[in-house]
Amino acid sequence: MCPSGFSSSSTAEEVTQGIHGDGLTAIVTGTTHGIGIETARVLALRGVHVIMAVRNVVAAKAVKEAILKEIHTAKVDVKELDLSSMASVRKFASEFTSSGFPLNILINNAGITATPFSLSKDNIELQFATNHLGHFLLTHLLLDTMKKTASVSKRQGRIVNVSSDGHQYTYPEGIRFDKINDESSFQLWRAYGQSKLANILHAKELARRFKEDRVDITANSLHPGAIITNIYKPEISGAVPTDLINMLGNYAMKSIQQGAATTCYVALHPHVKGVSGEYFSDNNVAKASSLAKNTDLAKKLWDFSMKIID
């Protein structure tokens, strides 16, 4: 039996069975498809007030209605957020802060996979901008609210970055600080791996800073698994490299219910209280790559990201 008592086949409902999230507020990005929808649904099922932060508000409202139809007591709100635009992130954070809502849980779930080279509205390579930088800025802008909530509620805050084992399939140096926008050396799957490595390093550095400053918030990252609707989509540009498939080949394809489990486990389960700076997979602490454990790289990424958002 795995240490947590759960495995790759456990579902999000199973790993949160009996957990009461009443009084908690969570922001979940990217809740209009796949594991994002299931994460929002299960958190709402457990009594959490869920803020769905989405690019497509119309699609999100349909998801909200479906959740409310199933769970009559659910507390769900929809707010617009385009992670590829720093202006949109700032607008979302400002409006959320002004709402006066507390914030116990932040789930940085949204992401794009292996898109051809293009630049965001802020002229940053799109995968790095969306998967890492948007979430980095969002987290940065919401930290004061999370710290205040943890202090007032006496309940530990949790930040959850949804990464991927694809983080191992990055450029040799891990993060190409000097070549983020270099189209000539761009490789779409390595750019994806780079952005997912950044998710882990971001959580690592957050955890280090929280510990140093004695802030009652944890930060962790995770691999949700190879989801049927995700990495193997035929419409994704470019064939999945064989060595990346081999890297992910240890994982059986998961259902959406199983794919959302680790996120919900890390966000809600009492076993994860006080656990910070870890990488999870299949509802248990797992091993990330050596680059993902590199504290100097994490600090460098933090400084690099801060300069861009400044």
Q: HSE of 127 in the Cβ direction (CA atoms, 13 Å)?
A: 29
Pair type for strands 217-223 and 157-162: parallel
Tell me which residue has tokens 């450029």. Answer: 171
> Annotated catalytic residue: which of 169, 171, 192, 265?
192
Tell me, yes or no, if 232 is annotated catalytic: no
CA distances, 98 to each of 95, 123, 138, 195 (Å): 5, 29, 15, 30
Q: Which two tokens stand for residue 222?
A: 């995770």
What distance in Å separates the CA atoms of residue 190 and residue 48, rounded to the nearest whole number?
36
Q: Which residues contact 106 (CB under 8 A, 6 or more apart)?
A: 26, 27, 138, 139, 142, 146, 157, 158, 159, 160
From the CA atom positions of the chain, what is the Rg in Å? 18
DSSP H or E segment with residue 261: helix 261-268
Tell me the CA end-to-end span of the chain in Å, nearest whole number: 47
**Residues assigned a catalytic role:** 192
